Structure 1
Amino acid sequence: MPAHQPIYHPGVLDKPANYGVLEQLAGTWVNHNPDNNRTGWGLHTTCLPSPGTNSETIPGKFHFLCQDYQEELTFTLVPGGVRNRGGANEQFSGAVKYSQSIQDLAGNGLHEENGMYLWLDTLYNHPADDQSIMTDIGYPELSAGAGSDGPVYVPPYSISRSGTIPHGSTVLLLGKYSQGSGRPTFPHGTAAWDPAHLAISSSMGLAGTGPDTPIDLDEKAPAWVHDPSLAERCPSGNKTYTQRILAHDLYPYSVRPDLRLRDALQHQEVKDFVLIEMCTREAGGPGGGVLNTPFVSRFASVSEMTFRLWIETVVEDGKEILQLQYEQIQYFEFQFGTDGGTTRWPHIQINTLRKKD
């Protein structure tokens, strides 16, 4: 924790903005998939209220969507630091605008979003001086130098992201970054059966699994997944409830989408990476949040979002190329389970992108 911040002076206003690791994002990113590989496209999983249902009387019947997509994601650096005045503490944020457009592989629109990332780590100490005391009528409470000894503000996060989604949600995520060598690490086998990254949440029953009976997502789906009689024999069972997710043509990515990110890296030489991790909710600390329009709030409220973004340096033919991968998880809350409890429905998006030529 720093004992003090650099002292503010008028020359700070002429300094270029500090964007931190976000500066690498500048430009337009698209899918790079000349061989039409399965792992070269984005993918989303989405659970939605089933037609004819309502939140008051019908248990959580849901419609499941999972499909490949293509994307264009543009980041634009905003010139100059954005000044936030806080008295003795001042912050100059590096702002990066983004615009996201997603279509299915036939070109039909699926998702549009725009917003802004902020680099939050550039701070200054701004003590009182004779001019500020005279202008702001600070005397007699303030004297020259007041505030130079703190309190020092230490930001709990390095990065923020705000976004507006036309379905009717606005999000604010806060987070930090880390750096690593080689490829990012993703799990294999039964270790990949982690509810935090599955399209099947714990409140959806986890397909009838328990701590000692995970499903190995690197093997074929269990036999019951393709049993057409399951719905008749056990209409309210956990396996029946989630059978269609595991039986999907895009399995295992329909169950754990970020495994496609893992598999896209399988034959790549990754020199190093930056990982940005963000969320709208932080236990025991300051957090972001989600706002929904009245319709969305009532019928499919977005309650939380988590986000991971990797900026990777890939070596191909002796050249270093930047690559971007992300996993975004939104949690919808609608209807209720057969036990009467609130059900959280993960909506997951993943993709691997490279800068457009």
Structure 2
Amino acid sequence: MGKMDPTVLGARLLSAKESQEIDLGILQGFLGTWESKPGSGTGWNVIAVPGNSPFTPPADGFVLEVIPYYETWSFSPAVIAGNRGMEDDQTIVGLIYEQKVFSDCDTEFCNARGFSKGTEIHAETGMLLNITNFDSGFNVARLGNIPHGNSILLMGNSSESNGKFDFPEAKTSPTLVDGGGVFGYGEEQYTMHPRFPDFPQANPNQQLANDVKDQKFGQVITLNLSSENATGGILNTPFITKNTDATKMSCIFWLEEVLNANGSSSWQLQYSQTINLVFPPSTAPNGRKFNWPHVDINTLQKVADV
């Protein structure tokens, strides 16, 4: 995009027309509204929370929630920002996003837990940024605000491929903060008592692979981001820090060109994200802190352009 005129350094939102004319680079294809529909079976949330487990042996006051969901992501309009530096100025372009997630679960368990079908279970606003003229080792970022009381900054990189890509494993099993597995915290909820027998709750990313096993792809754009990359992180309110400390987060977006049998193509968006939650010491085993991975995955279709 070239160097920004220093007289207009600052940040501003762009109109829909401007957002189509400006070069968003690797983020261009995200523009628009993406949805998974009720009953699509593509959105899944896996998280353990304080509560009473219906299984034996007791889970020491923690229960595994597996919730199918549907959602909407809207990426618009573009935003442009100029940063003034000591030697060079920097131009950043990006997208403002809004995410809304609704339960698609009508089981007795979900109803009892307060996640009956149609209940809004998550809302988030933020930005995806394309950073092109400062060599920090990372060229994309995700900023987000979550009503629980969290703000995230994830730094990462983009890549492009043709036709082939991999889904890494997304582990949901709890672990001790100081290493090793957890015993006596209800691990049987992951294996012996699956909430949904056909959903791979021990590795939700397998569901992403299942969703696209019959598809063929052209261009695939991948964004791989983490709060553990340089300058990234998560800020939490005091209550969150005390009770369910969100310590790190990673996410991957796959923007996929689907090749249709009639020779046409369409675009599809998949994502996987994992948030590490650290619960305070409990009565067993030995009062040690432990991690519960909170994993969300989904496959979405574009329903509207900007």
1:203 aligns with 2:176: yes
> Pick from 247, 263, 287: which aligns with 2:210?
263
The residue aligned with 2:32 is 27
Pairs aligned (count) = 273
TM-score for the superposition, normalised by structure 2: 0.80
Please give the per-residue CA displacement for 1:109-149, whole angstroms capped at 9, x wherever unaligned.
1100001111111x3xxxxxxxxxxxxxxxxxxxxxxxxxx
> Pick from 107, 117, 122: which aligns with 1:111?
122
Secondary structure (helix, strand or coil) at the match of 1:64 reads strand
Looking at CA atoms only, which structure, 1 or 2, has the larger radius of gyration?
1
Q: CA deviation at 1:37?
A: 5.3
The residue aligned with 2:15 is none
Alignment of 1:264-283 (within 5 A): 264-282=211-229
The residue aligned with 1:248 is 194
The residue aligned with 1:350 is 297
The residue aligned with 2:157 is 176
2: CA distance, partners of 1:264 / 1:21? 24
Letter in 1 for 2:78: V
1: CA distance, partners of 2:88 / 2:178? 48
Structure 1: which 5+ residue stretches go unaligned? 53-58, 124-152, 188-193, 209-235
1:330 aligns with 2:275: yes
Q: CA deviation at 1:204?
A: 8.5
Alignment of 1:66-77 (within 5 A): 66-77=66-77
- The answer on whether the counterparts of 1:17 and 1:93 sit within 8 Å (CA) in structure 2 is no
Residues 1:78 and 1:272: Cα distance change in structure 2 (over 3 Å): closer
The residue aligned with 2:47 is 46
Structure 2: which 5+ residue stretches go unaligned? 10-17, 54-58, 105-116
2: CA distance, partners of 1:78 / 1:272? 23
Secondary structure (helix, strand or coil) at the match of 2:89 reads strand
2: CA distance, partners of 1:107 / 1:206? 39
Q: CA RMSD in A?
A: 3.1
The residue aligned with 1:129 is none
Alignment of 1:219-230 (within 5 A): none
The residue aligned with 1:308 is 252
TM-score for the superposition, normalised by structure 1: 0.69
Residues 1:242 and 1:205: Cα distance change in structure 2 (over 3 Å): farther
- The answer on whether the counterparts of 1:78 and 1:94 sit within 8 Å (CA) in structure 2 is yes
Q: CA deviation at 1:335?
A: 2.4
- The answer on whether the counterparts of 1:207 and 1:242 sit within 8 Å (CA) in structure 2 is no
Q: CA deviation at 1:20?
A: 1.5
The residue aligned with 2:237 is 293
Residues 1:297 and 1:60: Cα distance change in structure 2 (over 3 Å): farther
Higher strand share: 2
Secondary structure (helix, strand or coil) at the match of 1:107 reads coil
Q: CA deviation at 1:82?
A: 1.0
The residue aligned with 1:320 is 265
Q: CA deviation at 1:165?
A: 0.5
Secondary structure (helix, strand or coil) at the match of 1:241 reads coil
Q: CA deviation at 1:51?
A: 5.8
Please give the per-residue CA displacement for 1:200-236, whole angstroms capped at 9, x wherever unaligned.
033399997xxxxxxxxxxxxxxxxxxxxxxxxxxx9
